[in-house]
Structure 1
Amino acid sequence: MPNIDPNFVFPVLIGDIGGTNARFAILVDSYAEPKEFPILLTQDFETLEDAIQSVVLDHTSIQPRSAVIAIAGPVEGDEIPLTNCHWVVKPRQMMERFNLQDITVLNDFEAQALAVVSLDEKHLENIGGETSHPNGKRVVLGPGTGLGVAGLIRSRQTWVPVPGEGGHVDFGPRSERDLQIFPFIEKIDGRVSAEQLLCGRGLQHIYQAICQADAISPSLVTPAEITDAALDKSNAQAIETLELFAIYLGRLAGDLALIFMAQGGVYLSGGIPQRILSALRTGSFRAAFEDKAPHQSILKSIPIYVITHPRAAIAGLAAYARTPSRFDIHTDGRRWR
């Protein structure tokens, strides 16, 4: 069935909820910039409602009438668990507690896809390729707490985000070095997924596998320690970890670009690509992206961008809340009134 009255009642509460961090803003009207609130750690709050009350509503006199929330996980049912967080989103309970007229819940990478066509060029760092086709299909992927993937296509003068769980596709060894270290990558139900390598934990998995393959005792523990040691060139295993991380990210990005024929570009979102931008510029990332025989020429033409906006998903959700008609988002089963 077609959506009825896609517009939102202002003010609109906007939320971007990941496995580790949650970001909130209030959009007062369709002309305003989002009023943003401090980023919070999901582990610090028992429930989503407690976080909203403490971080947002206790610090403003603005009373939201609608809410658009993006979460890290598939949206289904009246109680929606997050994939990498203990929170469970309960829209009907939220409506009653906060006196909201309606709530829409989207996938977090749907929000990232909305951001791709909502951000200024100053928030996009180009890594090779030709100029993006203005109406071309696009792919956004982001390694963070997990690995998110979404597509974006143009249809009948609107943008259509295509959410999915592409971060959980199989990922296998290709090079001689891969064959040395992959036996030490932990398998889940007999397989290695892309998310096991391309997220914060993935940096740890790659580093530990390198150390085991080389019979070296690991000296670094956290993703931040590994990244810092790689960037300041103080640890050989960390340097190789970051190089392989970039190569693996390039391989997956190239696969997704071919699946979507993403002539509008491939977009990397989240904190990790911003943090390792220098490593992505060394050439191995782009080379891995393009190394897709027999279609190297297609991949060479596709531009890649790193999204540098600190709250890209909030910007995407705000664009949707302002003008829902700009996007074709099916909200059946994902909007409560």
Structure 2
Amino acid sequence: MILAGDIGGTRARLALFAPGEGRARVERTLPSREYADFSVLLAAFLDHAGQPHTDIEAAAFGVAGPVVSTAGDTRVRATNLPWTLSGASIREQLGGCPVRLVNDLIAVGLGALASPLDRRVNLNPEAGDGATGGHAAVIAPGTGLGEALFFHDGERHHPMPSEGGHCDFAPNDTREDALLGYLRGRLGGHVSYERILSGDGFSSLYAFARHAQLGRPAPNAERELAAADDPNARITAWAQEGADECAVIACRLFARILGAEAGNLALKSLPTGGVFIAGGLVGHVLGFLREQTLEGFLDKGRFATMLGRLPLWVVADDALGLAGARRLAEREIT
């Protein structure tokens, strides 16, 4: 058996797989914050599974946090939890099997790269499907904006993490010029792509659309947003329903700017194997991505033709992190 996990600040998804089988033998999602540390959560999962730890041949976990490798150990300080995960400690808890700890975006990226074609949306059909292989790039809006590159050695992809989501936002038209000025004032200085291309980015874009009087908001919009458990989800729902002009404009801006930053990432890495826009969040605005994202991706002047040859995929699946962690664990036993 192999053990895979996608460890986030809100929930941890763990699963046991038999190598070669498609479905998990056991899968469970646990509320991360209810456990004092990861070792307690892992023990609870194994107790539920009724699986002896001696049967586990390899384990891998994608964790939301920076990964630091030192002699004999790999550690991750979780970004939104009071946890520090240690590969050596987990290995000991599991009876000595190989353990991989990676940043959650690396796991998401590997999951996207392994996704079947029928689970993807091709935003650039003129470019084909990238089946010839090659380097790949992944951009994943979520709580933040994750970006990573995947070097292809002729047989498999190897991840190269980055903090590209914190690069400076560069406007491409007069409306985006105004957006940059608005966000500078709102944030007190530097504006990164993550400030726009993340969950909270929808609220910022919506506030800009209202500030600039670009459309008519829904009736009682302020009251509804104040009462909403997740204002960003309320904004995307309004946009999908066409119930709020400012929400529609916010989602259009999000989709086009996401395409522009995906194009920036492509120019820096030349990913002939494709650019992957990944994660569960993008599924909420897929219609806008279909309409706007390729336009932003190709808006690169003299290099538009070159980018037009690159596959551009959307993989809207919140289980990609678990799938990528499984892939890493399988590598440990092959």
The answer (yes or no) to whether the contact 2:16–2:25 under 8 Å persists in 1 is yes
- Local SS of the residue matching 2:62: strand
Higher mean displacement: 78-87 or 218-227: 78-87
Query: Which of 63, 67, 71 in structure 2 is aligned with 1:75?
Result: 67
2: distance between equivalents of 1:306 and 1:156? 24
Query: Which of 14, 31, 39 in structure 1 is aligned with 2:4?
Result: 14
- Local SS of the residue matching 1:281: helix
Query: Which of 91, 96, 103 in structure 2 is aligned with 1:107?
Result: 103
2: distance between equivalents of 1:182 and 1:36? 47
Matched, 1:307 2:296: no
- In the comparison of the two structures, how many residue pairs are matched? 314
Query: Which of 251, 261, 264 in structure 2 is aligned with 1:252?
Result: 261
- Local SS of the residue matching 1:234: coil
1: distance between equivalents of 2:107 and 2:68? 17
Structure 1 gaps of 5+ residues are 1-10, 327-337
Map 1:56-205 → 2, pairs under 5 A: 56-64=45-53, 65=56, 66-77=58-69, 79-129=75-125, 130-131=127-128, 132-185=130-183, 190-205=189-204
The answer (yes or no) to whether the contact 1:208–1:218 under 8 Å persists in 2 is no
Could you give the per-residue CA deviations for residues 53-106 of structure 1, whole angstroms, max 9, x where no partner exists?
33x223111133442111123201565212344432233443444544342211
Could you give the per-residue CA deviations for residues 249-305 of structure 1, whole angstroms, max 9, x where no partner exists?
0110011111111121111111111221111112x2110110101101111221211
The answer (yes or no) to whether the contact 1:116–1:316 under 8 Å persists in 2 is yes
2: distance between equivalents of 1:166 and 1:41? 29
Instruction: Return closer, same or farther for 1:250/1:156 CA change in 2, 3 Å cut-off.
Output: closer
Task: Look up the equivalent residue of 1:48 and give its one-letter code.
Answer: F
Task: Look up the equivalent residue of 2:151 and give its one-letter code.
Answer: I
2: distance between equivalents of 1:63 and 1:100? 13
The sequence identity of aligned pairs, in percent, is: 28
Could you give the per-residue CA deviations for residues 203-232 of structure 1, whole angstroms, max 9, x where no partner exists?
112212333333988453511101101110
Counterpart in the other structure of 1:335: none
Matched, 1:296 2:304: yes
1:117 shift after superposition: 3.5
The answer (yes or no) to whether the contact 1:30–1:322 under 8 Å persists in 2 is no
**RMSD of aligned C-alpha atoms?**
2.6
Task: Look up the equivalent residue of 1:128 and give its one-letter code.
Answer: N
1:157 shift after superposition: 2.7
Map 1:212-291 → 2, pairs under 5 A: 212-214=211-213, 218-219=222-223, 220=225, 222-282=231-291, 284-291=292-299
- Local SS of the residue matching 1:38: strand
- Local SS of the residue matching 1:225: helix
Could you give the per-residue CA deviations for residues 120-150 of structure 1, whole angstroms, max 9, x where no partner exists?
2121111124111522221111111111111
2: distance between equivalents of 1:44 and 1:223? 25
TM-score (norm 2): 0.84
The answer (yes or no) to whether the contact 2:100–2:328 under 8 Å persists in 1 is no
Structure 2 gaps of 5+ residues are none
Instruction: Return closer, same or farther for 1:156/1:228 CA change in 2, 3 Å cut-off.
Output: closer
Instruction: Return closer, same or farther for 1:158/1:29 CA change in 2, 3 Å cut-off.
Output: closer
The answer (yes or no) to whether the contact 1:19–1:146 under 8 Å persists in 2 is no
1:15 shift after superposition: 0.9
